[in-house]
Amino acid sequence: MGDSLAVEEQRSALSFKSCVPEPKPKTGSDMNQELVKRCRAMIIKLLPVEVGLSQITDATSSVITPEVISSFAKSGGDFGKAVPFALLRVKALFMAEAHNNPADYDENLCRATAAEVLARRIVHNLPIDKLESIMSTRYRYRESDGDESAPSSALEIAIDHHDTIFLSSSEAEHVVNCLWRGDLVQRNNENMDIDYVPYQPGESSSFWAHLNPDRMSVPRYQSTFKIVVWCIFLFVYSQSVQTPLESFNAERNWDGYEIVLYVMALAFLIEETVKMFKIIRIAPRPMATVSLYALDAADGETGGRGIVINNLIQALLGAPDFDSPSERFGYPFGLIIFYGWNFVATIILVNVLIALFGSAYSDVIDNETDEYLVFFAHKTIDLIRAPDSYVYLAPFNLIEAFLIAPFEWILSRDMYIALNRHTMTVLFFVPLTFIAFFESQISHSKNRSISAYFNEPLTDEEGDPVVEDPTCENDDNGEISRTKFEDLISVFPDTTLTEGAGIHREMMMMRKQLDRLEAAIRSQG
């Protein structure tokens, strides 16, 4: 296990701005690309033994101290902006090692949690103007098999590994909201990889500057458009089934609602089929179905759906009939399949899965706010992870599939881009008009700033002497700052440190004073 991890660490070399990592001997300039390996080594030194998870995640942790956070933030050197991504990658490596080595699961879980907490604390200390860049910059790394990975950002890798601690931070929520609103958009670079860049016309109040077909790829507008389309689909469905008796007329033709219904259903079917092909390999499923049909027909008879359904329901209710499968469905295969059904339904489903579901449900309820933020981030990233550069939402994906996509192999790249932009402008002219009006007149940056001024809480005013010690020069009734602000807070406890950490700090200060006293005595003697 140690050898395999060493190989994986050796290959985990970051490259920045979607550059391709090269498996060559390390030089002085290549040392910056070993950030993942370096952070992992630092975490092993930080946590050589297992500690409680509460000691790591607590805000006053004695393990993840401000000094430790500063040390990890400096570990990237000139590539400090990649440290959060590297720590999240280290977290994934520790979790993989934990699953592969159950004996050290708790120890590696502590290290993985520490890596995620460190990534969150480092991002929390970043200035707001660098936050979007650090969270959305995409990197490549070497996978365990030596191949280069697809470009991924810190936000994307946190979503892929369900990093709840990191994604529930206010900084991650800020970047997710920027992606949701379209303040950050996707652009293809010279390597045809995706980079996230600020939306340039965002500061403009011109209607025509915001009339852009690319805005249909913004998650907020995609979600709204899909809701409207589904409402239209429900209306069309209700209209098409209002007169079911007319369907018995042999001379009756399809009306307009039925045609629209079937076209929209086909569009949704194609959309979901594309998603299904991306998620799972569906080839074994038809093969297994064909095999079951072959077993059913092995005795020369087919059918018996009523008997099968009756036996399955009886087995689920706790009264299985083992004679019918043995006699009716090709002994011994029918009986073996029925045994498997009873085992799955009675043992696994009733006794195991329900208990696991209850435990998982209680975990989600206890952490409901963080889980919601993770779900929202996952939904946002899922909407912008489009397979192509032109988002044709259903039911208009039929036009792309049958009328636009074939021209990709005929037209030049510039002509194909122009064809897609003009087609999308015509197809989505109505929603694009609403989007342009909303962004130029309602959601404009000036209006947003005014709204934020009245609605958002007060900004951080720590260290402002006007706030801490206000003066009342024109008020003859008295003075507020009779006692200085420093004197008022001098009796406050330091809640950023645990009791043990506070005692340790006091002892270190006392030790330094004793050392100085001892040095003074020796100098006088």
Mean pLDDT for the stretch of residues 475-495: 74
What pLDDT digit, counting tens, does each position of 281-336 carry?
Answer: 545 556 566 666 666 665 556 555 666 666 666 666 566 666 666 555 556 666 67
- For the chain, give the number of residues: 525
pLDDT of 185 reads 85
Alpha helices in 280-396 (DSSP H): 284-296, 305-316, 323-328, 333-342, 354-366, 368-384
Lowest-pLDDT choice from 170-174, 224-228, 356-360: 356-360
- Which segment, 54-63, 94-103, 269-278, 438-447, is predicted with the most confidence on average? 94-103
- Give the orientation angle of helix 83-100 with respect to helix 2-11, to 10 degrees: 160
pLDDT digits (tens, 9 = 90+) for 1-10: 444 444 344 4
* pLDDT above 60: residue 17: no
Angle at 437 between CA 198 and CA 397, to 5 degrees: 75
Q: Percent of the chain, pLDDT > 90?
A: 25
Question: What tens digit of pLDDT does each residue of 93-140 get?
Answer: 999 999 999 999 999 999 999 999 999 999 999 888 888 888 888 888
Q: pLDDT band for position 415 (50/70/90)?
A: very high
Rg of the Cα atoms in the chain: 31
SS3 291: helix
Question: In degrees to the nearest 10, what's the CA dihedral of 108, 112, 115, 121?
Answer: -130
d(CA 519, CA 512): 11
Q: Distance between CA 32 and CA 99 in Å, rounded? A: 29
* pLDDT category of residue 199 using cuts at 50, 70 and 90: confident
The predicted pLDDT at position 484 comes to: 79
Phi, psi at 251, each rounded to 5° = -90, 5
Residue 401: which residues within 8 A CB-CB, separation 6 or more? 270
pLDDT at 45 over 90: yes
**Runs of H (alpha helix) within 193-296:** 207-210, 219-240, 256-279, 284-296
* Mean pLDDT, residues 500-524: 85
Q: Which two tokens stand for residue 332?
A: 């011994």
Cα–Cα distance, 11 to 36 (Å, whole number)? 10
Predicted local distance difference test score (pLDDT) of residue 467: 75
Phi and psi of 476, rounded to 5°? Answer: -85, -5
Using DSSP's 3-state secondary structure scheme, residue 48 falls into: coil
The contacts found for 117-120 with CB under 8 angstroms, 24 or more apart, are 117/56, 117/57, 117/61, 117/64, 117/165, 118/43, 118/64, 118/68, 118/69, 118/72, 118/87, 119/83, 119/84, 119/87, 119/88, 119/91, 119/154, 119/158, 119/163, 119/166, 120/165, 120/166, 120/169, 120/171
If pLDDT is split at 50, 70 and 90, which confidence band does 184 have?
confident
Name the burial class of residue 422, with classes exposed (0-12), middle (13-18) and buried (19+) by CB atoms within 10 angstroms of its CB. exposed
DSSP 8-state secondary structure symbol assigned to residue 401: I
DSSP 3-state of 16: strand
Higher pLDDT, 266 or 282: 266
Closest Cα partner for 168 from 367, 425, 381, 8? 367
User: How far does CA 208 lie from the centroid of its chain?
Assistant: 33
Q: What pLDDT band is residue 61 in, cutting at 50, 70 and 90? A: confident
Edge-to-edge strands of the sheet including 152-153?
A: 15-16, 138-140, 152-153
115 neighbors 43 (Cβ within 8 angstroms)? yes
Q: How far apart are CA 358 and CA 116, in angstroms?
A: 27
pLDDT in tens, 353-387: 777 888 888 878 888 889 899 999 999 988 887 55
Does the pLDDT at position 250 exceed 70?
no
475 confidence band (pLDDT: 50, 70, 90): low
* Closest listed residue to residue 97, CA positions, set 19, 12, 13, 200: 12
The pLDDT value given to residue 43? 95
Using the predicted structure, report yes or no on whether residue 504 has a pLDDT greater than 70: yes
Q: Which runs of consecutive H residues, i.e. helices, occur in 385-468?
A: 397-399, 413-427, 429-437, 445-455, 465-468
Helices (H) and strands (E) in the chain, counts: 26, 5
Q: In whole angstroms, give the CA distance from residue 345 to residue 339.
A: 10
Q: How buried is residue 425: exposed, middle or buried, by Cβ count under 10 Å (0-12/13-18/19+)?
A: middle
pLDDT at 462: 63
Q: Is 337 exposed, middle or buried (0-12, 13-18, 19+ CB in 10 A)?
A: middle
Q: With 90 as the cut, is the pLDDT of residue 72 above it?
A: yes
What's the rounded Cα separation, in Å, for the pair 220 and 179? 9
d(CA 380, CA 220): 8
Q: Which residues of 150-165 are buried (b: 16+ CB within 10 A; e: fewer)?
A: ebbbbbbbbbebebeb
Burial-class residue 416 by CB neighbours within 10 Å (0-12, 13-18, 19+).
middle
pTM of the model: 0.71
